[in-house]
Amino acid sequence: MTMSMTKLLKEGPKVVNIGVEQFYADLKTQKAEAVSMDWKPSAAGGDLLARLKKLRKGGN
Amino acid sequence: MIDIEKANGEALSRLLSAQPVVVGMGKAKDTVPGMKDRMLLHAGPPLSWETASGPIRGGVMAACMYEGWADTPEDAEKLAAGGGITFDPCHHHHAVGPMAGIVSPSMPVFVLENRTAGNTSYVTMNEGLGKVLRMGAFAPEVIERLRWMEKVLYPVLDAGIRLSVERGQELDVKNMIAQALHMGDELHNRNKAGTSLFLRAIAPFLVETCRNSADLAEVIRFIDKNDHFFLNLAMAAGKASTEAAHGVEGSSLVTVMARNGTEFGIKVSGLGDDWFTCQAALPDVLLFPGFTREDTNRDIGDSAIMETYGVGGFALAAAPAIVQFIGGTPKDAANYTLEMYEITEGENNMFTIPALNFRGTPTGIDILKVAETGVTPVLDTGAAHREPGKGQVGAGIVRMPAEAFLKAAGAFADRYLGE
Amino acid sequence: MPSSHQRIEIVRRTYYDSVTLMLVAKELLKDGSLSVASLSMGTEANYKIMGSGGFDLTGVDATPNDLIIAVKTGAPEAEREDVLTAALAKAKEYLANPPGRKADSGGDYRPKSLDGALSVLPDANLALISVAGRYAGDVAMDCIEKGLNVMLYSDNVPVEKEVEIKKAAAEKGLLVMGPDCGTIIIRGVAMGMANACPPGPVSIVAAAGTGLQEVHVQLARRGVGVLHGIGTGGRDVRREVGGIMCLQAVNALLADDEVELLIVLGKPPAPEVEQKILQAVKAGKKPAVLGFIGGEAKGDSGGVFICRELEETAAVAAALAKGGDGARARENLFREYEALRQRAETIGKRKGFLRGLYSGGTLCYEGQLIARDILGPIRSNTPLDKKMKLEDSLRSEQHSMVDYGEDEFTQGRLHPMIDVSLRAERIYEEAKDQEVGVILFDVVLGYGCNDNPAAGLAEGIRKARSAAGDRIVFVASICGVDSDPQNASEQCRILEELGVHVCDSNARAARLAAMILEG
């Protein structure tokens, strides 16, 4: 049950940084594996996003 | 409930398996389906004279004088404003046109056929640089050049193409695009390699069929001087390929992206004939000396078909020379392409980018991914002066506006969620 | 009608991260034509802060989704219009092209979508989320759906969302650290605001960011390293959330053969959660120290040490980790605390009020606990006793301690550990109050924090000295080590040169500060 969390503790962090760029820079300084997302709020409103999520799930 | 993944896979496969080749030429009135007298086709989604921008109006005026419907620009304006002309998007006639994209009945067009699915596409010959109809210019030299193209360029090219078809050696435009991508072209703002490859391929047929060496020399010089000659053919190849992907039930892939200088519009494979439109972007590009941002017309042209096809701005990583237009590093150019992978269905099977280890270009824009990520397609395009007759003011990177994609995503949800 | 010294412009329905806003404001001030420049989202809190900063906001109707650009100039009347117009134009230009942005990722591609990020780093196992709270919850859910553990640095995430996220994560065996979790250490790698200390046999589960930092640092000072420091966010151990993540982490660490000693840290949890933690820890058969800051003095419980303060927790744990006597370590520590009375005498007792200005929430909390025992009730924006709540966080009353990391200061603004200017200004304000005797503050170092907080605070201290001379005693603690980017010894030197009395821990600093004023 805790396999995924255990993986994190055993492998060390491999990080997707979403937000403050400084956190990504600090990870690189410590030679950790990381990628930094250029995140912006979706142009689609919450409503549309929810409907799109539904669409995605429906197909399979 | 539809399987979007499956539908998009199908649509993309139809796009990628298209094989557009040049099968002939003809006058628009004889060749382009639905072309009528006193009808002018134009780039982008539907418009009216009232809403038309400067470059479109200038192009319309030039076309009217070329056709002999009016003797002066003022008369042409009156004619157009008075409802004497029917306007229709090129896209409604399986055609495409760069910048103003005006096609009039007497203009000669290339005919391309998608050998895989059998559908055809049409495009005029590229006039060259400077004062040209597609940039909204309507001076006498513009009309003169159009007449020369009709009287000399067209017959010479037509004869050569007929021979190539007779011999079973049709010009394979898709193949030329693939090669051009490895030679520094991205096929929207840079078409130099493509033009060279085209000229190389057609030259023997021209030599064999043209009896008048003075005409032949003029034709070859004309093409040689016009680095963008290949663009029109590439656009028609794009049109034939993307149209083949249209009409797949449940597919959210974009099959048309086009601008008319006022509005930006898209069509989606699984959403029928509807256009989804919004105001076209105001380009913020590198300006030629003497021009300012105030002079720039809104984004214009069917050339966005190149990005819909998976090249142009999507292939910036392949065209380091373009970097001077964006004032960045080659890494910036590559990053644009990398970004486009996030909103496309897959990677192209034939168009590859050497700088990215020959990774296929991002192909098949998905409106749902655009809505979800907020990333819109990036185009590499020219910008026209807002006043008719003043020509091109600059070139560079332009982002497409999100609104049209959001409208389409909403319509997609309406149609396929069944609520 | 004289033209105004200020100009305010609202950009509607927009989103800019706080770092960008700070960078732009900084850039606007560079040419010296402006006296104040502020770019903030239109939250209630920011209205107040901008008001205190000298702006007149009557008639400004910005919402939290709108950006307020406010500029003020001391230029002579004839030039004001032009200066202010130019400044606003520059502000908007900078917003489109933030200065100093290029350096950030060194040209590395920054994916725009989670799928894009995972195509670049397919082995990713953790998402570090620090976007605005109203978006952060959904971003976290997306990450969990992709099988990523989550560090949710963002605060202002609704508790219903927190429960939803944690339940979904628990089902998949994933860890969600936060919301409002600022400090994480995994295999010695620091994330968020955390210190550069060497790894070792101890691991910590903390519902308290600066609590984790202080204990981490105090252990390092005693030569003991930390392998994992898992934050759960402050709300996890409350009844509504039920300690889901705290217990998941505690159980994982107890079962982990690399972990020799476990510390569980935070404000006292809800009783039923505390029970579960105690049960788990007792069954775990590993030495454990529970640091329930400000909890009742219950005494240790069958092999499990229970402490009430941060340095105490570290001292006991360090002793145990080295195979020593935890109880003895605790006794020694409190003896050292008593000796602080001598130091207070040497500095010279003062009359007046204590004003604590904190960037770390747990440190402020601990500071109040300690000072209250010596001076009586302390007022605060995060008081121990509801009755002691400050009416206006910007206005101290009697003995006060203010936590600058609280919502009213951080909504739409940078965290005080990154932007020290508000506190620096407040130090000066407090010094002008004739009734103030001691100003106490924390300096938190580490990754993610301001690169020279001591220098930033020094500005305020210098102005305070000119206003108050020797009337005020400055006491500080530095939560940091020499291997931190800021170098604790360097920071200490800067403060000591200004006559600040620097102590080895927050517990000592709070005690010393209170003892100086003890009647």
Q: What is the CA radius of gyration of chain B?
A: 20
Backbone φ and ψ for B41, nearest 5 degrees, come out as: -90, 155
Average pLDDT over residues C439-460: 95
Q: What is B109-142 written as a DSSP string?
A: EEEEEETTT--EEEEE----SSS-GGGT--SHHH
Q: Which structure tokens are listed for C317?
A: 């744990």
Chain A to chain C, count of Cβ pairs less than 8 Å apart? Answer: 144
| Domain assignment of residue A49, yes or no | yes
Handedness of CA B62, B68, B72, B75 (dihedral sign): negative
What are the sequence ranges of the domains in chain B?
20-234, 246-417
The 3-state DSSP class for residue C425 equals: helix
Q: For the ranges C39-48, C184-193, C242-251, C429-438, which has the lowest average pLDDT?
A: C39-48
**Residue B342 contacts C, CB cutoff 8 Å:** yes
Neighbours of C391 (CB within 10 A): 9
Minimal Cα–Cα distance from A44 to chain C, Å? 13
The 3-state DSSP class for residue C88 equals: helix
- Spatial neighbors of C446 by CB under 8 A, at least 6 apart, are C190, C193, C194, C195, C196, C213, C479, C480, C484, C485, C486
Q: So what's the pLDDT on residue B331?
A: 83
Q: Which CATH class is domain C6-103?
A: alpha beta
Q: So what's the pLDDT on residue A59?
A: 46
Strands (E), B238-342: 254-260, 263-268, 276-279, 286-287, 300-301
CA separation for the pair B147, B142 (Å, rounded): 9
Q: In percent, how much of chain C has pLDDT > 70?
A: 97
Say yes or no to pLDDT of B131 above 90: no
Q: What is the value of ipTM here, to two decimals?
A: 0.92
| Domain assignment of residue A31, yes or no | yes
Q: So what's the pLDDT on residue C299?
A: 77
What is the number of H-type helices and E-type strands within chain B? 15, 15
CATH architecture of B246-417: Alpha-Beta Complex (3.90)
Q: Which of B331, B334, B341 sits opposite C116 (nearest CB)?
A: B341
Interface contact B417-A54, CB threshold 8 A: yes
Interface contact A15-C104, CB threshold 8 A: no
pTM value is: 0.81
Q: Which of B329, B332, B342 sits opposite C112 (nearest CB)?
A: B342
**Residue C111 contacts B, CB cutoff 8 Å:** yes
Q: In percent, how much of chain C has pLDDT > 90?
A: 72
Q: So what's the pLDDT on residue C105?
A: 45
| Domain assignment of residue A45, yes or no | yes
C371 vs C268, more confident = C371
Say yes or no to pLDDT of B110 above 50: yes
Q: Which CATH number fits domain B20-234: 3.30.565.10, 2.40.50.140, 3.90.1710.10, 3.65.10.10?
A: 3.90.1710.10
The closest of C8, C52, C34, C10 to C394, measured between CA atoms, is C52
Mean pLDDT of chain C: 91
Q: So what's the pLDDT on residue C43?
A: 81
Say yes or no to pLDDT of A2 above 70: no
pLDDT band at B40 (very low <50, low <70, confident <90, very high): very high
Domain C348-517: which topology? Rossmann fold (3.40.50)
| Domain assignment of residue A4, yes or no | no
Fold matches, C114-332 and C348-517 = yes
Q: What is the pLDDT of residues A34-53, one digit of tens each?
A: 999 999 887 777 788 888 88
Asked if A3 contacts B332 with a C-beta cutoff of 8 angstroms, the reply is no
Minimal Cα–Cα distance from B144 to chain A, Å? 48
| Domain assignment of residue A25, yes or no | yes
Q: So what's the pLDDT on residue A1?
A: 42
Q: Which of B3, B372, B417 sits opposite A42 (nearest CB)?
A: B372
Q: So what's the pLDDT on residue B375?
A: 93
Q: So what's the pLDDT on residue C423?
A: 95
What are the sequence ranges of the domains in chain C?
6-103, 114-332, 348-517
DSSP-assigned beta bridge partners for residue B148 = none
Say yes or no to pLDDT of B418 above 80: no
Q: Which structure tokens are listed for C271?
A: 């009783």
CA separation for the pair B230, B235 (Å, rounded): 9
Say yes or no to pLDDT of C429 above 60: yes
Say yes or no to pLDDT of C2 above 60: no
Handedness of CA C242, C248, C249, C254 (dihedral sign): positive
**CATH number belonging to domain C114-332:** 3.40.50.261
B2 vs B304, more confident = B304
B134 vs C19, more confident = B134
Average pLDDT over residues B240-248: 98
**Residue A20 contacts C, CB cutoff 8 Å:** yes
Q: What is the 8-class DSSP label of residue C3?
A: P
| Domain assignment of residue A34, yes or no | yes
Asked if B172 contacts B200 with a C-beta cutoff of 8 angstroms, the reply is no
Give the residue from chain B lying closest to A49, CA to CA: B372
Minimal Cα–Cα distance from C313 to chain A, Å? 23
Q: So what's the pLDDT on residue C4?
A: 84
Contact residues of A toward B, CB < 8 A: 40-44, 48-49, 51-52, 54-56, 58-60
Q: For the ranges B49-63, B145-159, C62-76, C214-228, which has the lowest average pLDDT?
A: C62-76
Q: What is the pLDDT of residues C140-152, one digit of tens each?
A: 999 999 999 999 9
Query: Residue A27 belongs to what domain range?
Result: 9-56
pLDDT band at A60 (very low <50, low <70, confident <90, very high): very low
| Domain assignment of residue A1, yes or no | no
Q: For the ranges B377-386, C235-244, C376-385, which has the lowest average pLDDT?
A: C235-244
Axis-axis angle for helices C18-29, C77-96 (nearest 10): 140
The closest of B20, B3, B6, B5 to B243, measured between CA atoms, is B20
Optimal mutation site among A26, A40, A47, interface C, most CBs of chain C within 10 A: A26
Indicate the number of domains in chain A: 1
Average pLDDT over residues B167-192: 95
pLDDT band at C103 (very low <50, low <70, confident <90, very high): very low
pLDDT band at B345 (very low <50, low <70, confident <90, very high): very high
Optimal mutation site among B366, B373, B399, interface A, most CBs of chain A within 10 A: B373
